[in-house]
Structure 1
Amino acid sequence: MHEHEEMTYGEDYHYLPVTSIKSGAGQEVLPDLYCLTVQIVNVCFVGQPGQKNWVLVDAGMPHAADTIIEEAEERFGSGAAPEAILLTHGHFDHVGSIVDLVNYWKVPVYAHPLELPYLTGERKYPEPDPTVDSGLVAKLSPLFPVEAINLGHHLSTLPADGSVPHLAGWRWLHTPGHSPGHVSFFRESDRTLLAGDAFVTVKQESLWSVITQELEINGPPRYLTTDWKAAAESVSKLEALKPAVAVTGHGMPMKGDLLANSLEHLTRNFDILAVPEQGKYVQ
């Protein structure tokens, strides 16, 4: 990998005209956790407002860099740059603006080793499966970008010991299924979970639910999930942590009894609630 090698998006990366009523709205989940909805996906700012040491988790949809930078400066001060960008995984809606953000901020990006081929231009993701659900977002999924992006030498692997760079007190957990190197982030002290797409709090296949952000716990987005056995184990692993609050890649943050009960229900009935009845990735 040459130092001067340019970072690139996948060749099929383009603006997607899907959005929710919460798009552009930020929510302070905790004093040091802020969640911004970018069209249909969430990015997280972890760190105290006005402080220099903060990180960004995930990088939103294509063409969202200006929105993310603006929000960062509003929260952390003019010219504020994160110490790093952490990725739950490399699907287009989580890395859609990452090249622009890295070019602007000049910061490292961390991901799980198994996700690296999709982030270094080596391998594209499997094609989305529109047959998994009758919902319109599932039907539109063949339009979603799957080509690998290339972050070149800006990309590093998450530490093998489970620690999270620049986030003391947090650890990462390998939660595959939705993608091979999918990870979630957890802070033991207050049981805060950043779940990525291991589970989500909206029915992501349904355009109506996506637009209205109707709160309902669901397994990972079906049209891009390729390993349902691993996905079930990942949800079970996260439920065992008994999170007090969870921010997911899609949908609104969930906390307290609603989160505990919903997550337990999802874990116990994963095959019925999460796994599609048909589809090319269903055993």
Structure 2
Amino acid sequence: MRTTLRLPAEASAVDDTADRARGDGTHEVAPGLAYLRLAIVNVAFIGRHGAGDRDWMLVDAGLPGTRALIERAAARRFGSGSRPAAILLTHGHFDHVGALEGLARHWDVPVIAHRLELPYLDGSAAYPQPDPSVGGGLMSRLSPLLPRRPVNVGSRLIALPQDGSVPMLAGWRWIHTPGHSVGHVSFWREEDQCLLSGDAFVTTRQESLYATAMQKPEMHGPPAYFTVDWQEAGASVRRLAQLGPDLVVSGHGRAMRGPHMQAALRHLAAEFELWSTPEHGRYVTTPATVLGGTAYIRK
């Protein structure tokens, strides 16, 4: 496995000067779309700056301990006391749902996810064990220590509708992109070709703590230590590359846009096994099915 498809600095979609002037702590990368970096992971805000109560959405919910940071950024961006219409989830790994229970309770909002992801969000199932043998850096080696226990927002859960629409969010649709997790989804806005890819592919080498901290512009497959079906993961990257996105906000790394990003994504999709699939690992040839009595439900 090769691991790095480097991108030039001009592929970054972030305008630091404009972000500082706006002062809400987020990176605004398209009309009505911004994201907040929380150490190793991103959360996204869909909604224009200054949108009122229930007129915006949060996508994913960060690491444990980041609730106050998310609430502060939301208050600065949308106004004090402004709550989202819902929290959308790309998937339920610990770094995407760390503040979910507290935020959902505080804002009194529904949580929307793919139906196959619901067992990991209603307290009934733990994810398959991570795979430190994939290599790539400290994050991989530490992966057995990362939380796998499910959160429980079962009373608030809504399954994404099968027609691809996103409830309460006109202009966006969801795309099933399994592999990293069975119910992983990405979000797509056709009007301006904006893609929230979640962890289907990312723009930093998430297996390496150093690379994650530095966030040099790169194109990578999903974080390898948590990916449990590499055949599906490759198919998902190819599905997203076919969209030809102009802007990508991934779950990890800086937002990227333009022809350099598009070329790297096409390259990753065309040669996924070369650039992303590990040379060895517990799920490389055999996807997760049943581990420790917990079912991993194949679509």
> Could you say whether these structures have the same fold, taking a TM-score greater than 0.5 normalized by the shorter chain as the test?
yes
- Tell me the alpha carbon deviations over residues 223-259 of structure 1, each in whole angstroms, 9 at most, x when there is no partner: 0000000000000000000000000000000100121
Q: Report the Cα distance in structure 2 between the residues aligned to 1:169 and 1:26, rounded to whole angstroms.
A: 22
Q: 1:175 maps to what in 2?
A: 177
Matches within 5 A, 1:114-125: 114-125=116-127
Give the aligned CA root-mean-square deviation in angstroms: 1.2
Q: Secondary structure at the match of 2:112?
A: strand
Number of the residue aligned with 2:210: 208
Q: Could you tell me how far 1:76 is from its partner in structure 2?
A: 0.3
Output the CA distance in 2 between the equivalents of 1:159 and 1:134: 37
Question: Identity, % of aligned pairs?
Answer: 53
> Alpha-carbon deviation of 1:213?
0.7
Counterpart selection for 1:65 from 54, 67, 74:
67
Query: 1:26 deviation in Å?
Result: 2.3
In structure 2, what is the Cα distance between the partners aligned to 1:25 and 1:276?
A: 36
Output one character per residue of 1:68-125: Cα deviation in whole Å (capped at 9) or x when no partner: 0000000000101000000000000000000010111000000000001111111100
Relative distance call for 1:110 and 1:179 in structure 2 (3 A) is same
Name segments (4+ residues, structure 1) moved above 6 Å. Answer: none
- Contact 1:54 1:166 (8 Å CA) reproduced: no
Residue 34, structure 1, aligned to residue 34, structure 2: yes
CA distance in 2, matches of 1:166, 1:33: 16
Query: CA contact under 8 A between 2:63 and 2:98: conserved in structure 1?
Result: yes
Aligned partner of 1:252 in structure 2 is: 254
How much does 1:31 deviate? 2.6
Take 1:253 and 1:166, find their aligned partners in 2: how far apart are those partners? Answer: 24
Within-5 A mapping of 1:159-198: 159-198=161-200
TM-score between both structures, scaled by the size of structure 1: 0.90
Distance, in Å, in 2 between the alignment partners of 1:143 and 1:166 is 37
Task: Output the CA distance in 1 between the equivalents of 2:136 and 2:87.
Answer: 35
Q: Greater relative contact order: 1 or 2 (C-alpha under 8 angstroms, separation 6 or more)? A: 2
Alignment of 1:51-130 (within 5 A): 51-52=51-52, 53-130=55-132
Where structure 1 has 5 or more consecutive residues not aligned to the other structure, the ranges are: 1-21
Name the CA distance, whole Å, in 1 between partners of 2:116 and 2:86. Answer: 19
| Structure 2 unpaired stretches of 5+ | 1-15, 17-23, 286-299
- Is the Cα–Cα contact under 8 Å of residues 39 and 213 in structure 2 kept in the other structure? no
Q: Please give the alpha-carbon distance, in whole angstroms, between the structure 1 residues aligned to 2:40 and 2:220.
A: 15
Normalised TM-score (structure 2)? 0.86
